[in-house]
């Protein structure tokens, strides 16, 4: 349904729910029944709050079996001004609409139970709503097939799910219902590589898939084929049931003519459509646990078969401290998103002989490889070889762990040594002490007695206690001490500034997120994206303004090795960014903000381990 239709429906529901008096808060539930509702298709359930212009806290437990998902919230309050006999009257009608998408798996008339809504610390219950769910027709012009690339796999092993939708008729408004995408048993990713050119497509529930379209012959008929691809990564072991998928769509069944003969002759007949549905078979996926025996050091969950190679520039005429660009390429698998930054600091020979910055650039995908680039610097005269870099993975074909390694890279390291203070001063440098001899006997041209002579020799100890000398040494010494103390108290450096920013990143982010509830709902998505990216930038020394959801994902994986939190962080940013530019709304309420705060705190905790 288009954005304009959504607006029209909201205001229609508002008009139906209007009351003469708005002084008392009322909470009403309604379903958009402007068109037929079919089994397996989503329909919109509205909660209308009269008397308030803020969202409430909704307990959706009574609707759990209908898989409720937020479909956006809207403040539809109105203000009117009347002027009668010079007297101005201002009327304010407060109204807020919270919308949810529901899906029924059974046909017939269903009863949606009342739900509890808390508004301004007061509890209300909606009215029950009756909905008639229709069963679409069936036709041999539609077919649906779902296949898995593996029938048996290991925990963490990517499995390609392919959905093929065939249609040989004129169709419109197809809706896909794929229950497995709501399962907690899998991580979901879009494949990096597909055999045919494909585009990313949103199924309408926030889940995206890669889709390609083809012309084929299916069961002797010239047909269109839509291929949907998604990667499933099992979280748990055991036998997992893949529920049947379905597609419902309007299919052209004939031509309808208008009763007005003028329009029949001028515009011709129009196509008549009816709703049809097609379903796939259920599937079983056997997921095996990874063995503990033989698990190598550095294994972080890669399942498949991988290769790793490395190159460096320059490798000749290298001196100690010169920058060397080390490029690492990891490939061998069609699915490379689980691949993390190589743990270079855990390669003892590399860490002992080379300096490596803590800040890392985001990897790129190039020609079937995930490419990592890092600058290293030789730190001593033993750094004439870049050692092998290992990559541990589990190979499901051999049911064993393997470690791929890069080839050592020889460097033409020119001999050099560190300069010391003695090198700078010179080998022949020696302090020269000149002894000042005191003249024991003065002039005696006119006086014979030595009593007339005054001892003019200088004594540091005497000057220290002499009142005449005290101001000369005390003033500079005092200034020196004060400036040194001030320097110590206020001294800073880029390293200290960066460390302080890292320490304060979590608290700063939490405080900013807590303030979002008081901002305009239309600005919350943009604020959440900005705050979450700024946290990654401050905490992990990244440029926040240039970060993408995938950059945040890779950064969190590198710091915490927690794929689940990294995926939640990336999906939250992606959903909010989509809401900024598309005609949808992500509900940033107090519950959502709390979830984001908990996610940030969990990432902070794990990144310090």
Tell me, yes or no, whether 162 and 270 share the same domain: yes
In which band, very low, low, confident or very high, does the pLDDT at 544 lie, cut at 50, 70 and 90? Answer: confident
Domain count, the chain: 4
d(CA 315, CA 384): 9
| Cβ atoms of 181 and 204 closer than 8 Å | no
Percent of residues, the chain, with pLDDT higher than 90: 27
- Clarify whether residues 58 and 18 are in a common domain: yes
Tokens of residue 338, six digits = 């689980």
Confidence of residue 404 (pLDDT cuts 50, 70, 90): very high
Q: What distance in Å separates the CA atoms of residue 147 and residue 180, rounded to the nearest whole number?
A: 13
Asked whether residue 14 carries a pLDDT value surpassing 50, the answer given is no
Residue 246 shares a structural domain with residue 200 = yes
Q: Is residue 481 a part of any domain in this protein?
A: no
- Which pLDDT band, with edges at 50, 70 and 90, does 484 fall under? confident
Identify the pLDDT of residue 142: 93
Residue 399 falls in which region: left (phi positive, over 0), alpha (psi -120 to 50) or beta: left
Confidence of residue 579 (pLDDT cuts 50, 70, 90): low
Q: Residue 241 falls within a domain, yes or no?
A: yes
Distance CA 556, CA 299 (A): 17
Q: Looking at the DSSP assignment, which residues form a beta bridge with residue 402?
A: 393
Give the highest mean pLDDT range of 178-187, 417-426, 481-490.
178-187
Domain boundary among 373, 392, 410: 410
Q: What share of the chain is helix, strand, coil (3-state, %, to 5)?
A: 30, 35, 35
Gap between the Cα atoms of 474 and 480, Å rounded: 10
Residue tagged 């009269």 (tokens): 50
CA-nearest of 163, 141, 408, 127 to 281 is: 163
Give the span between the Cα atoms of 210 and 196, in whole angstroms: 10
Q: Identify whether residues 116 and 172 lie together within a single domain.
A: no
The boundaries of the domain holding residue 155 are 142-288
Whether the predicted pLDDT of 419 surpasses 70:
no
d(CA 433, CA 458): 17
What's the pLDDT score for residue 582?
47
pLDDT at 448: 54
pLDDT digits (tens, 9 = 90+) for 307-364: 999 999 999 888 888 999 999 999 988 778 788 999 998 999 999 999 988 888 889 8
pLDDT of residue 347: 92
284 and 155 housed in the same domain: yes
Does 421 fall in a domain?
no
Residue 121 lies in a domain: yes
Residue 2 has a pLDDT of 42
- Does residue 179 share a domain with residue 119? no
Distance of CA 609 to the CA centre of its chain: 21
Query: Residues 328, 310: contact at Cβ < 8 Å?
Result: yes
More confident: 29 or 545: 29
Does residue 259 register a pLDDT over 70?
Answer: no
pLDDT-derived band of residue 82, with 50, 70 and 90 as boundaries?
confident
Of 355, 375, 410, the one marking the end of a domain is 410
- Do 283 and 151 lie in one domain? The reply is yes
Residue 301 included in any domain: no
The answer to whether position 35 is within a domain reads: yes
pLDDT of residue 120: 85
* Helix boundaries (H) for 515-589: 524-540, 549-560, 563-581
Instruction: For residue 217, count CB atoms less than 10 angstroms from its CB and return exposed for 0-12, middle for 13-18, buried for 19 or more.
Output: exposed
Higher per-residue pLDDT: 6 or 560 = 560
Q: Residue 25 sits in a domain of what CATH number?
A: 2.60.40.10
CA neighbours within 13 Å on the CB side: how many for 605? Answer: 7
Whole-number average pLDDT of the chain:
81
Going by C-alpha positions, the residue among 600, 602, 609 that lies closest to residue 505 is 600
Give the pLDDT band (50/70/90) at residue 263: very low
- CATH for 196: 2.60.40
pLDDT at 424 exceeding the cut of 80: no
Whether 202 is in a domain gets the answer yes
pLDDT at 256: 65
Least confident of 109-123, 170-184, 239-253, 577-591: 577-591
Output the pLDDT for position 1: 42
- Same domain as 160, residue 98: no
Q: Same domain for 170 and 45?
A: no
Phi, psi angle pair for 18, to nearest 5°: -65, 145
Beta-bridge partner residues of 182: none
Query: Could you say which of 410, 432, 464 is where a domain stops?
Result: 410
């Amino acid at each position: 349904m288009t954005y304009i239709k959504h607006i029209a429906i909201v205001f229609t529901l508002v008009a139906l729910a209007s009351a003469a008096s708005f002084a008392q808060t009322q909470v009403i539930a309604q379903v958009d029944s402007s068109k037929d509702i079919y089994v397996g298709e989503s329909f919109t359930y509205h909660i209308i709050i009269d008397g308030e212009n803020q969202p409430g806290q909704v307990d959706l437990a009574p609707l759990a079996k209908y898989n409720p998902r937020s479909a956006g919230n809207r403040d539809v309050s109105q203000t009117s001004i009347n002027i009668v006999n010079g007297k101005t009257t201002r009327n304010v009608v407060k109204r807020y609409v919270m919308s949810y998408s529901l899906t029924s798996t059974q046909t017939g008339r269903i009863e949606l139970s009342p739900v509890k809504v808390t508004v301004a610390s007061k509890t209300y219950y909606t009215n029950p709503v009756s909905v008639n769910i229709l069963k679409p027709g069936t036709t041999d012009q539609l077919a649906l097939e779902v296949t898995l690339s593996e029938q048996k796999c290991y925990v963490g092993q990517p499995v390609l799910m392919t959905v093929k939708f065939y249609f040989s008729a004129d169709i419109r408004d197809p809706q896909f219902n794929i229950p497995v995408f709501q399962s907690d048993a899998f991580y979901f990713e879009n494949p990096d590589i597909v055999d045919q050119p494909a585009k990313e497509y949103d199924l309408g529930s926030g889940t995206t898939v890669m889709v390609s379209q083809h012309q084929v012959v299916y069961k002797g008929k010239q047909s269109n084929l839509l291929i949907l691809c998604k990667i499933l990564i099992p979280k748990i072991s055991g036998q997992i049931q893949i529920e049947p998928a379905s597609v419902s769509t309007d299919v052209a069944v004939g031509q309808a003519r208008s009763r007005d003969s003028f329009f029949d002759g001028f515009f011709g007949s129009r196509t008549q459509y009816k709703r049809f549905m097609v379903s796939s078979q259920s599937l079983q996926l056997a997921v095996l646990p990874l063995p503990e025996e033989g698990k190598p050091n550095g294994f972080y969950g890669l399942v498949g078969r991988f290769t790793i190679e490395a190159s460096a520039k320059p490798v000749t005429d290298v001196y100690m401290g010169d920058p060397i660009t080390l490029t690492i390429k990891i490939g061998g698998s069609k699915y490379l998103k689980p691949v993390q930054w190589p743990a270079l600091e855990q390669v003892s020979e590399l860490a002992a002989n080379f300096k490596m910055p803590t800040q890392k650039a985001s990897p790129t995908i190039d020609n079937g490889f995930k490419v990592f680039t890092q600058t290293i610097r030789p730190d001593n005269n033993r750094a004439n070889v870049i050692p092998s870099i290992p990559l541990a993975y589990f190979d499901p074909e051999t049911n064993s762990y393997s470690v791929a390694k890069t080839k050592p890279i020889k460097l033409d390291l020119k001999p050099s040594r560190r300069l010391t203070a003695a090198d700078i001063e010179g080998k022949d440098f020696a302090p020269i002490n000149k002894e000042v001899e005191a003249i024991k006997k003065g002039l005696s041209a006119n006086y014979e007695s030595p009593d007339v002579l005054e001892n003019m020799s200088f004594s540091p100890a005497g000057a220290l206690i002499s009142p005449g000398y005290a101001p000369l040494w005390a003033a500079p010494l005092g200034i020196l001490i004060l400036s040194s103390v001030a320097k110590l108290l206020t001294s800073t450096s880029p390293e200290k500034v960066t460390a302080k920013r890292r320490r304060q990143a979590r608290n700063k982010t939490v405080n900013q997120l807590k303030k979002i509830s008081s901002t305009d709902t239309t600005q919350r998505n943009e604020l959440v994206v900005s705050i979450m990216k700024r946290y990654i930038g401050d905490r992990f020394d990244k440029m926040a303004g240039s970060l993408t959801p995938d950059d945040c994902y890779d950064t969190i994986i590198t710091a915490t090795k927690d794929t689940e939190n990294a995926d939640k962080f990336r999906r939250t940013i992606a959903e909010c960014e989509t809401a900024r530019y598309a005609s949808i709304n992500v509900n940033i309420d107090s519950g959502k903000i709390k979830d984001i705060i908990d996610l940030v705190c969990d990432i902070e905790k794990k990144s310090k381990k």
